[in-house]
């Protein structure tokens, strides 16, 4: 059944190694350690720091949080609310398999949010969250969805912009 794998087919999201020393965690570390040992430490931890995210937007048009909200709250489109509750009372039945999205914009930086949407396996190989913007490593994908990512690049940016706006406390 190897032929059914669509690894490498279609638009592969930018899931490769990212510049590691860009995240907020690193900035804190830089200040604490003073630049001297930084280069060495940065090399050592470069791989795990992929979890720090994707700093570069996927498109040149900035994400639109209003369109992002529409995608997130449409269970047929984003599918997000099948698993996530959040500050969207308009969704009658949200699932609870993933974390509540309330305040996610305060908990997570934009590069991390983008990485989580594009391919959450980078942060957690055992994740149940589907990869939204890569076709890497998928098996037995149905004909209708072969080679297609779950969201388009601009949609990912819209969703990221919406999530980044969710900085409030519990509703």
Partner 1 sequence: MRRAIVFTVAFLLPGLAWSDDRRTGYDDMNADLQALQDDPMNPATFWVLDGERLWSEPAGTTAQSCADCHGSAEDSMQGVAARYPSFDESSGTAVDLLGRIALCQSRHQQTAQPRDRSDPDRLALLAYVTHQSRGLPIMPDEDPRLAPARARGEALFSSRMGQLNLSCAQCHDDNAGGYLAAARIPQAHPTGYPQYRLEWETIGSLDRRLAGCMTGVRADPFAPGSPELVALELFLKSRAAGLTVEALPIRP
Give the interface with partner 1 as residue ranges (CB under 8 A): 4, 75, 79, 81-83, 92-97, 128, 130-131, 137-145, 148, 150
Nearest approach in angstroms of CB 166 to partner 1 is 20
Nearest approach in angstroms of CB 141 to partner 1 is 5
Nearest to 20 by CA among 10, 30, 12, 31: 30
Nearest approach in angstroms of CB 102 to partner 1 is 17
Segment holding 42, helix H or strand E: helix 38-44
Of the two residues 108 and 138, which places its CB atom closer to partner 1 in the complex?
138
Of the two residues 5 and 50, which places its CB atom closer to partner 1 in the complex?
5
Nearest approach in angstroms of CB 152 to partner 1 is 14
- Identify the burial level of 84 via C-beta atoms within 10 angstroms of its C-beta, where 0-12 means exposed, 13-18 middle and 19 or more buried: buried
Of the two residues 71 and 79, which places its CB atom closer to partner 1 in the complex?
79
Q: Residue 82 has which token pair?
A: 């099948």
Per-residue burial over 52-73, b if 16 or more Cβ lie within 10 Å, else e, is: bbbeebbeeeebbbebbbbbbb
Of the two residues 137 and 168, which places its CB atom closer to partner 1 in the complex?
137
Nearest approach in angstroms of CB 148 to partner 1 is 7
Residue with tokens 């149940």: 128
DSSP states of 70-89 as a string?
HHHT-TTTT-HHHH---S-T
Of the two residues 61 and 146, which places its CB atom closer to partner 1 in the complex?
146
Task: Give the whole-angstrom CA distance, residue 49 versus residue 26.
Answer: 9
């Amino acid at each position: 059944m190897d032929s059914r794998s669509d690894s490498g087919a279609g638009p592969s999201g930018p899931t490769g190694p990212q510049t590691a020393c860009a995240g907020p965690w690193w900035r804190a570390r830089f200040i604490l350690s003073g630049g001297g040992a930084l280069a060495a430490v940065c090399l050592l931890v470069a791989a795990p720091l992929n979890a720090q995210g994707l700093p570069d937007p996927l498109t040149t048009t900035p994400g639109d949080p209003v369109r992002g909200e529409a995608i997130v709250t449409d269970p047929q489109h984003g599918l997000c609310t099948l698993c996530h509750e959040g500050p969207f009372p308009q969704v009658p039945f949200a699932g609870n398999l993933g974390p509540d999205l309330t305040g996610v914009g305060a908990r997570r930086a934009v590069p991390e949010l983008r990485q989580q949407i594009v391919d959450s396996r980078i942060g957690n190989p055992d994740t149940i969250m589907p990869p939204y913007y890569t076709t890497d490593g998928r098996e037995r994908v149905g004909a209708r969805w072969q080679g297609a990512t779950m969201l388009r690049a601009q949609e990912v940016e819209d969703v990221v912009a919406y999530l980044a706006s969710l900085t409030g406390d519990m509703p």
